[in-house]
């Protein structure tokens, strides 16, 4: 009888220890899963397409044509603009573009002037320290007379 009690007691100890080990594994695996999910939720670069219809309403010194808000994914002090469309309707316009704060035409980066399509160009942030998670917008103004449609993509 005592032998049976000892066997039952030993089995209960083993079962309790297995439950503890199982609980530790579940806790550890849950922690790993949460960590993997947190890493996969990183803010990724938001690249936006843009299409500006430019004309003499947006001549330098009047009003800028701004929009296409995007969220910055990193703290790199550069924005990237690619111009894949430059369709002139009339005249010989030149288009200057820069990055501004969301909701303002203020110039936060160097500007670049296009007269045709171009591969990706880098605009440096110099009036502000650009931070991940902040929203910025692309702005354009025109030099010269005429009308042009410009388009492409940009990453703040």
| Mean of all residue pLDDT scores within the chain | 86
Same domain, 68 and 145: yes
Same domain, 30 and 52: no
Same domain, 98 and 150: yes
State which residues form the domain around 20.
Answer: 1-41
In sequence order, the 6+-apart residues with CB closer than 8 A to the CB of 38 are none
Copy the structure tokens of residue 32. Answer: 């790993």
**Farthest CA pair distance, the chain:** 107
| Number of compact structural domains in the chain | 2
Same domain, 73 and 143: yes
Kindly report the length of the chain: 156
For the chain, what percent of residues have pLDDT higher than 70?
Answer: 83
Task: Give the pLDDT confidence of 49-66 residue by residue, as tens digits.
Answer: 999 999 999 999 899 999
In sequence order, the 6+-apart residues with CB closer than 8 A to the CB of 48 are 68, 69, 70, 138, 153, 154, 155
CB atoms within 10 A of CB 93: 23
Mean pLDDT of 77-100: 96
CATH of the domain at 134: 2.60.120
Task: Give the pLDDT confidence of 10-63 residue by residue, as tens digits.
Answer: 777 777 677 776 666 566 655 565 555 554 444 457 999 999 999 999 999 899
Residue 2's pLDDT is 73
Q: What is the pTM of this model?
A: 0.70
Chain mean position to CA 130:
12
């Amino acid at each position: 009888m005592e032998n049976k009690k000892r066997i039952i007691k030993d089995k209960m100890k083993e079962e309790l220890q297995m439950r503890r080990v199982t609980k530790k594994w579940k806790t550890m695996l849950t922690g790993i899963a949460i960590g993997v999910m947190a890493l996969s939720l990183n803010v990724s670069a938001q690249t936006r397409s843009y299409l500006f219809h430019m004309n003499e309403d947006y001549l330098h010194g009047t009003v800028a044509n701004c929009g296409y808000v995007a969220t910055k994914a990193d703290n790199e002090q550069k924005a990237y603009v690619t111009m894949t469309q430059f369709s002139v309707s009339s005249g010989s316009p030149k288009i200057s573009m820069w990055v501004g704060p969301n909701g303002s035409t203020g110039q936060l980066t160097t500007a670049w002037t296009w007269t045709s399509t171009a591969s990706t160009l880098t605009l440096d942030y110099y009036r502000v320290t650009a931070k991940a998670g902040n929203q910025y917008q692309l702005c354009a103004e025109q030099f010269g007379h005429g009308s042009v449609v410009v388009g492409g993509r940009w990453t703040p």
